[in-house]
Amino acid sequence: MAEEAWHAARLIPTSGIRGAEEQERRATSALLAVMASVREFGRALVAPLGAPGGHIETFIEVPFDVDERRVYPDGLIRVTRGQRSWVALVEVKTADNQLQVSQLEDYLDVARAENFDVLLTISNELVAIPGAHPTEVDKRRLRKVALHHLSWTQVLTEAVMQKVFRGVADPDQAWILGELVRYLEHPRSGAMQPQDMGASWVSVREAVSAGTLRPGDKTASEVAARWDQLIRYACLRLGRQLGIEVQPVLSRKELSQPPVRVQTLVAVLSDGGVLTGGVRIPDAIAPISVDADIRAGKVICSVDIDAPREGRQQTRVNWLVRQLKDSPDDVRVDAFVAHGRGSSTSEMLRDVRIDPSKLTPDAKRELRSFRVARSTPMGSKRGEGRGSFVTSVLDALDIFYGDVVQNLRPWAAKPPKLRLPEPGQVGEPSVPKDLPSTSLSSQDGVEEPGFIT
């Protein structure tokens, strides 16, 4: 038999997984074992939870008694530094299994009774607001124990960034971390990407097309929440490719009051039939807006750019066109002028390349900013794969960043130059030794207040 048909032995095999319970146990054991073995990775996960820098120990299915019942959290993490010990209980779900309120509240009671610090949950549930949790629990149980959540996508992203971009000092540990990445990327591991927009997607899409969707519809809130999860996943996915932390664009009010975010999304969706979102990439020229126009069947990615503050109007257009030399012809460029409402002109990039003056029909009006946008067909299918809504949004964002945004740089003014000396004059002009009192001054002709001549 040819060697091409041989399968390499894996440290964490995906074969032999039978059912959700086996899937969760294997994912928990693999993750916690690698956290203890690869110090840099373990530290990257527990440091944001408040753990001190120290020795990491991990355990699975540790038994505890609660109200004469025995419970088994999926895992336990202990970090020791000197006399200090920090402990977190871990509850894990894989595939589409949801975290259960009763389970979490039992484990919070255990943590409080044992003076543990944190209950950490890991599942495929994504939250758009940093620090938020997908499951509502009794707030009284959180007085002495912190509740944190990680999605499997976040765990995978952290593992890839640590191995590929930040690095692992020990080569053997780097290989171990690579095996965890390989395992989590396998479909049978239970660590999944968002697969669909939920059971309400089709009915909401049809209601938007018919103009019958109302802000009070419960189905609209469900779709809005799924959209936020998709934007969060897109950030993690893009960050994994770039090696940096990509965040969704949220206002201060939305960060402090998560329900406001859903209300805003539902209002825009019911009024205009558009799901809106944004992605902030460090060092990119500006945040990327991602809009799914359900009525038009388009996914629109765009970025707003300040125009140069000097030069002729056509020179400012040429500055942008030069940076878009490798971008597709179907990119749209909008031009905005000072003291104007909306865009003054809008042209396709292929036409602007031929005649830049199309964006500046009135040379007397000053260009202040541009919007560069690209529309792609929106998938309608609820599920995953080709023709699905989720895939169309993710592909549109990746392609727009790669073809447009990563090539753009902000305009910077040239530094001022020193004034050259007069012809025949070397260095600074000489000053007569005896300056007569009648010499002209910059203050001549300026009368001081109250001075009477």
Q: Are 311 and 411 in contact (CB under 8 A)?
A: no
The pLDDT assigned to 301 comes to: 97
pLDDT greater than 60 at residue 237: yes
Q: Are 384 and 199 in contact (CB under 8 A)?
A: no
What is the rounded average pLDDT for all residues in the chain?
88
The pLDDT assigned to 42 comes to: 96
The pLDDT assigned to 453 comes to: 45
The pLDDT assigned to 217 comes to: 87
Dihedral sign for Cα atoms in the order 322, 324, 327, 330: negative
Distances (CA, A) of 125 to 48, 72, 134, 222, 233: 19, 22, 7, 14, 10
Residue with tokens 């001190």, as numbered in its chain: 52
Closest CA to 215 of 206, 226, 204: 204
The pLDDT assigned to 451 comes to: 47
Closest CA to 209 of 378, 47, 96: 378
* Least confident piece of the model among 11-15, 167-171, 325-329, 434-438: 434-438
Q: Which one has a higher pLDDT value, 105 or 423?
A: 105
| pLDDT, tens digit, 9 for 90 and up, residues 376-395 | 999 877 767 777 899 999 99
Which 8-state DSSP code applies to residue 165? I
Q: CB under 8 Å to 107, separation ≥6 — which residues? A: 71, 73, 89, 91, 119
Residue 89: in which H helix or E strand, if any? strand 84-92
**For 127-130, which contacts have Cβ atoms below 8 Å and span 24 or more sequence positions?**
127/151, 127/229, 127/232, 128/228, 128/229, 128/231, 128/232, 128/248, 128/250, 128/258, 128/261, 129/250, 129/254, 129/255, 129/258, 129/261, 130/247, 130/255
The pLDDT assigned to 395 comes to: 94
The pLDDT assigned to 443 comes to: 58
Its pTM stands at 0.82
Q: Are 333 and 351 in contact (CB under 8 A)?
A: no
Percent of the chain at pLDDT exceeding 90: 61
Write the DSSP string, 377-392: EPP-BSSSSTTBHHHH
* Least confident piece of the model among 43-52, 159-168, 356-365, 405-414: 356-365
Which domains are present in the chain?
Answer: 7-189 (3.40.1350), 201-407 (no CATH)
Q: CB under 8 Å to 247, separation ≥6 — which residues? A: 130, 235, 279, 280
pLDDT band per the 50, 70, 90 thresholds, residue 444: low
The pLDDT assigned to 1 comes to: 46
**First and final CA of the chain: distance in angstroms?**
113
| pLDDT, tens digit, 9 for 90 and up, residues 324-340 | 999 999 999 999 988 77
Dihedral sign for Cα atoms in the order 256, 285, 303, 165: negative
Q: CB under 8 Å to 99, separation ≥6 — which residues? A: 91, 93, 121, 123, 125, 134, 135
Q: Which residues pair with 337 in a beta bridge?
A: 367
How many whole angstroms separate alpha carbon 397 and alpha carbon 404?
10
Q: Is 106 helix (H, G, I), strand (E, B) or coil?
A: helix
| pLDDT, tens digit, 9 for 90 and up, residues 61-114 | 999 988 888 999 999 999 999 999 999 999 999 988 999 999 999 999 999 999
pLDDT greater than 50 at residue 220: yes
Residue 87 backbone dihedrals phi, psi, to 5 degrees? -130, 140
